[in-house]
Amino acid sequence: MIALIDYGAGNLQSVIKAFHYIGCEVKVTADPKELQRADAAVLPGVGAFGDAMNSLQKSGMVPEIYHFIEQNKPFLGICLGLQMLFESSEESDGVKGLGILPGKILRIPDGPGLKIPHIGWNSLDLKCHTGLFENLPENSYVYFVHSYYLKAEKRHQVIATTSYGVEIDAAVQRGNLFATQFHPEKSGQVGLKILENFVSMIGEGNA
């Protein structure tokens, strides 16, 4: 069972529809005990970093997310779900993220011809062709909606980058923990393939 973590701050329907499209059931849950019974989990997110972290803390899910990831079960953070895995964000001064991965969430700088938020399709510079990106073509296009971006501290954890005025760390991996700044559920066939690759990891390497 794949748990889709519901903390009241994410648009879940597009994620649910994408998993259903590839023939995979997901369970939307705000129950920490149900999360621990899951084989894999997804942390989606839209909105502001501070509001999302506050909602996630109030949900009671935070300790169970740490425990889940420690078990090396497949875990996928999407968009704001990626940003919350890090320590903090320039969007919300003084608000602590989950701090599971080291790095900074920075505002995309203003520049000629750049619109903030960044909304649209960008190609990925893939750093690996395994895991989430198995059998993906080079320069695959995916869909972004964001005003803030990741600069990861541990460069070996970055598995894809893109460019929008600055180089953006578009996806990261540590063991079976994955996160994408882009929305695979809104990225057409490429995104569906990424989700299929994620699902294929269930049962592999679990503690």
Look up the CATH number of the domain holding residue 84: 3.40.50.880
Query: Per the residue annotation, which of 64, 79, 91, 118 is the catalytic one?
Result: 79
Query: Per the residue annotation, which of 64, 91, 146, 183 is the catalytic one?
Result: 183
Quick: pLDDT tens for 66-80: 999 999 999 999 999
- Identity of residue 194: I
Structural domain including 150 reads 2-200
Residue 76 domain-assigned (yes or no): yes
Number of domains in the chain: 1
The per-residue pLDDT for 205 is 46
Determine whether 128 is an active site residue. Answer: no
Determine whether 204 is an active site residue. Answer: no
Quick: pLDDT tens for 103-116: 999 999 998 889 99
The per-residue pLDDT for 10 is 66
Quick: pLDDT tens for 3-50: 999 998 767 999 999 999 999 999 999 999 999 999 999 999 888 999
Question: Length of the chain, please?
Answer: 207
Give the other-Cβ count within 10 Å of 160's Cβ: 24
The per-residue pLDDT for 113 is 87
Residue 121 domain-assigned (yes or no): yes
Query: Which residue(s) pair with 162 in the sheet?
Result: 168
CA separation for the pair 92, 47 (Å, rounded): 12
Query: Per the residue annotation, which of 64, 118, 146, 185 is the catalytic one?
Result: 185
The per-residue pLDDT for 204 is 61
Burial class (CB in 10 A: 0-12, 13-18, 19+), 121: middle
Res 206 pLDDT > 60: no
The per-residue pLDDT for 180 is 98
Residue 131 domain-assigned (yes or no): yes
The per-residue pLDDT for 77 is 98
At residue 68's C-alpha, the angle toward residues 65 and 74, to 5°, is 110
Quick: pLDDT tens for 136-178: 999 999 999 999 999 999 999 999 999 999 999 999 999 999 9
Determine whether 138 is an active site residue. Answer: no
Residue 206 domain-assigned (yes or no): no
CA separation for the pair 36, 126 (Å, rounded): 32
| Residue (of 56, 58, 108, 64) closest to 84 by Cα position | 56
- Identity of residue 184: P
CA separation for the pair 130, 156 (Å, rounded): 14
CA separation for the pair 42, 36 (Å, rounded): 13
Give the other-Cβ count within 10 Å of 199's Cβ: 18
